[in-house]
Amino acid sequence: MTPTRYLPALAAVAALLLLTGRWQEVKAGPENNDCAVAQTAFGDCIAYVSGFEDKFSPRCCRGLADIKDMAPTADRRRALCACIHSEMVAVGKVIPDRVTSLPAKCGVRIAFLPNSYYFKCSRYVPTNIH
């Protein structure tokens, strides 16, 4: 994964967090750095899953693959799921069917994407991925 390719999107996520007042919730540390990278990577999918765009970009699919690679354990999958979930909530609109179908459309086996505001990452994230 090349985190530098996400720098412009990371700046946009930081601005979104600042504007929504969620900046205080982001704490320093390696796990939160992974969270910021995951949110930035998924940021390329937000316009599609929120209904602002009719098509998803190839960068969205690369971002999903990067997120999957960042989550080799159940604990990491749950943590990254929670990070992505908080980004979706901050955006304010999510179309569940688009989130659910996105991994298949991108050809990425990732089973821990939250698909609604009420998704409980701690409860529904699979412990092993085949």
For 77-103, the pLDDT digits (tens) are 999 999 999 999 898 889 999 999 999
Residues 53 and 107 sit within 8 Å (Cβ to Cβ): no
- pLDDT grade, residue 23 (50/70/90)? very low
Is the separation of the CB atoms in 38 and 67 below 8 Å? yes
Residue 97, judged by CB atoms within 10 A of its CB (0-12, 13-18, 19+), counts as exposed
Global pTM value: 0.71
Task: Please report which confidence band the pLDDT of residue 33 belongs to, taking 50, 70 and 90 as the band edges.
Answer: confident
Residues 71 and 100: beta-carbon distance below 8 Å: no
Which tokens in the block code for residue 92?
Answer: 């304010």
Q: Is the dihedral of CA 16, 21, 25, 27 positive or negative?
A: positive
In this prediction, residues 62-76 reach a mean pLDDT of 93
pLDDT, position 35: 92
Confidence of residue 32 (pLDDT cuts 50, 70, 90): low
What pLDDT, on the 0 to 100 scale, is given for residue 127? Answer: 60
Taking a C-beta distance cutoff of 8 angstroms, is the pair 84, 42 a contact?
A: yes
CA–CA separation, 42 vs 45, rounded Å? 5
